[in-house]
Each structure stands twice: as structure tokens, then as C-alpha cells.
Structure 1
Amino acid sequence: MKTLTRLGLIAALAWAAPVSAETVNGLRTVDEFADIADESERSVALFNELMVVIEHPRCLNCHPVGDVPLQGDDMQPHQPPVVRGVGGMGAPGMRCSTCHGAENVTYTSGDGSIPGHVPWHLAPIEMGWVGKSATEICEQIKDPARNGNLDLAGLHEHNAEDGLVGWGWEPGVGREPAPGTQAIFGDLTQAWIDTGAVCPTT
């Protein structure tokens, strides 16, 4: 039998090695938490990783605790001035859909864009996150009275498949996308649920 060359041996070992965990655009994958033996500790660690996305401006801007949406990576009050209105859709005569269409529209100058998605609206005020701790947000998103009447399966579906959530990773020219991908965010959500959906305590 022929002796493997050095390069051939390296290639063979690489082929045989298990797929390793990785960080994708600043978000860790589920596999990176596999070495946390205690399931409750792993659940908390998974939720803290979800917070990497939740605390990003792409999410927080539409989850204010008041009646004014935020915008930009520096989370400034929306300009022109708008308010939450009924159903988070804006006030009469200044609905979100007045400016926000079905898709992102790049400025003619190419240096920015108007975000778009149908529907385009604020999260309910009960789901406001700005300024809240991981513990508060975790308890909030598990509570059907404050999360749009979702059970944990519905929460996973929302995080993994909802198009408006997904917009955070395709926010248009001039905006930093949320960390990772929606698929990884969904996987982390499911892994957190599967380990008991434990909330951080500090």
C-alpha cells in the first residue's frame, strides 16, 4: 500500500474531521455551546447569544419602549417625526406605508436607502426592548400576554421565518445587517427552547 504524502494525509484528516462550530458574522452557532454540560447553563448561554441579535439596532429600532421609532446604527429618533399610532402602523396621514414600501429602495445617489417590507410597523409597545436587561427581555418574550400571544413554538417560527424579522439581515444600502443569519438565529432559538428556555438571572 502506498504511503500517504504529507498533503494527502492532511486532506484525509480534514475529510474525516467532524464539522466544527463557527461564528458567522459575529453570531455563534449552536454547536459552540455543546461543551456546556449543565443544560440550564447552556440554555442561559444560548439566550445571551440571542441577545447579540436582539440588542442590535436593526432590532431595537423597531422595539422602542415609547411611541417613536428609532433609526440608524446610532438609534436616533425617526426623521421625519412620526408616532406609533394604532397597531404600530403610524398616525392617520403619516402611516408607515406612506414612505416604506414592499422592498428597500436605494437612493439615486447610491449612498443609502429607504427600508421596505410588507408589513412595515413597530413592534407592540408590550414588546419594547430598548434599555431593558437580558432577564427582562427573556421573561417578556416568553409571556404570551407580552409577545403577541405566542407559545414557544410560535416564538421559534417568528424568529426563524418571519419576513420582517428577516429584514434585519437584508436592511438595504447604508445599514449594517444584524449579526449572523436568520437561520442561525432560529437555530439558537430552538436550542434555547429545547434546553428549557431558561432566562438569565443577572
Structure 2
Amino acid sequence: MLPRGTLLIPALLFTGAAIAGSTTSDPSSALRSPDSFAGIADRTERSRAMFDEMARVIQHPRCLNCHPATREPLQRDLERHQPAVSMDKQSRALECQTCHHEHNTPTFAGGIASIPGAHGWKLAPASMSWVGKSRREICQALKDPAKNGKRDLAAIHEHMAQDHLVGWAWHPGGTLGPAPGTQASFGALVQAWIDTGAACPAA
């Protein structure tokens, strides 16, 4: 008998790259602490260096999959989502939360260990598309209230450090590799970046 709440997904829906092996991310990879940047005397350069370290999380597949270049989410290591879905207003058929629930959902289907899930699962707005963008472009968008959902720097820190949906990146379940570090260490890095002027990389 299957556990209550187990979702069965026909294996035929998940073909090709979708049932490939796990991500190559190193689960033990740690983020540098804010203190490790103390040797950079120039405040702006120190801030830029900390954003470069933040980018290890921001540009990780666990984050980029929901910040795609189009209105179609990605999965695993930036692979096409299966089944194909689009959040475009003209072609929207299913909301993300139709399949993605409050928690990761175990499956028994052809290499798909679980369907990701977290509270409020959704695609980032088009204005926060990160795939294909440089670190500088991502940084500038992240600070722009017209693009980031009218967030100031304090709200950006709260989102990065406390939001459960962001936190999923460190607890993806199944064979998916987590983002580097922890949400706590990432949050500390974001705060230190803000405290040093929230400077953006040159490129």
C-alpha cells in the first residue's frame, strides 16, 4: 500500500532529460562568510565581491528554474519542464500549484523521486528573469522596485533570508542537489552586501 498523499505520475510524462541523473552540485559546498571579505579594504569592491558570492545561489539551477528567460519554468539543471507548461496569459492552462503543493511530494515514477513543493510555489515575474543575464543585470533588477515587486533592500533581505519558497532551494528533495551553503548563511551574506552599499558587479 502506498503512503497517504503519495502522488502517482505516469512515467511517460517524464521522458528524455527529465529522467536524467541528479544534478552535479556539491551538497557540502559552503558559502563564504561576510568576515572572509574583510581583507578587501575598498567598501564598494568588498560589496561587489559579496554579491559575486551571493550569485552562487542566485544563479544556481534551484533558483534559475523559476526565474527563466521565458514564461515557461525549467526543472532539474535548467531543463525543459515536463509536462510542458506556460505562465503566459495567452496560453496558461495550469497554475503551478496544481502539481506543486506545500511540501515535496514523493512519487514512484520512472526516476522522478519527488515533485518539488513549498508554500506559495510560483514562477517569478517576467521582470525578474535571470536566465541568460549577467550578475550585474541581475543585481540591478534585484534592487529596482519597479522590477522586484516594490521591495526595498530590507524587504529583499527578508525575502532571501526568511521566505520558505526561497528556502526550498536548500531542501529540494529527491535527487536534486541543493544550492550552496544554507539559507541562514545566504541571508547573512545578503545583509552584509546591503550594509556595504549593495554594490553591483562590473559585469
Q: TM-score, normalised by structure 2?
A: 0.81
Structure 2, unaligned stretches of length 5 or more? 1-27
Q: Deviations over 1:161-185 (max 9, x none)?
A: 0110000001111100000000111
8 A contact 2:143–2:153 mirrored in 1: yes
Aligned amino acid, residue 171 of structure 1: P
Aligned amino acid, residue 191 of structure 1: A
Of 63, 79, 82, the match for 1:79: 82
For 1:150 and 1:100, the matched residues in 2 are separated by: 26
Match of 1:96 in 2: 96
Aligned amino acid, residue 103 of structure 1: H
Aligned amino acid, residue 60 of structure 2: H
Match of 2:131 in 1: 130
For 2:30 and 2:70, the matched residues in 1 are separated by: 29
Aligned amino acid, residue 102 of structure 1: E
For 1:62 and 1:34, the matched residues in 2 are separated by: 33
For 2:49 and 2:126, the matched residues in 1 are separated by: 27
For 1:92 and 1:70, the matched residues in 2 are separated by: 15
Of 39, 43, 47, the match for 2:47: 43
For 1:41 and 1:157, the matched residues in 2 are separated by: 24
Residues paired across the two proteins, number: 175
2:101 is the alignment partner of 1:106: no
Match of 1:28 in 2: 32
For 2:118 and 2:81, the matched residues in 1 are separated by: 17
2:185 is the alignment partner of 1:184: yes
Match of 2:13 in 1: none
Between structure 1 and structure 2, the one with the greater Rg is 1
Larger RCO (CA under 8 A, 6+ residues apart): 2
Match of 2:119 in 1: 118
User: By how many angstroms is 1:40 displaced?
Assistant: 0.7
Q: Deviations over 1:2-59 (max 9, x none)?
A: xxxxxxxxxxxxxxxxxxxxxx623211111111111111000000000000110000
CA RMSD of aligned residues (A): 1.7
Q: Taking structure 1 as reference, are residues 92 and 84 closer, same or farther at Cα in structure 2, changes over 3 Å only?
A: closer
Instruction: Give the secondary structure class of the aligned counterpart of 1:112.
Output: strand
2:54 is the alignment partner of 1:53: no
User: By how many angstroms is 1:186 displaced?
Assistant: 0.6
Instruction: Give the secondary structure class of the aligned counterpart of 1:191.
Output: helix
Structure 1, unaligned stretches of length 5 or more? 1-23
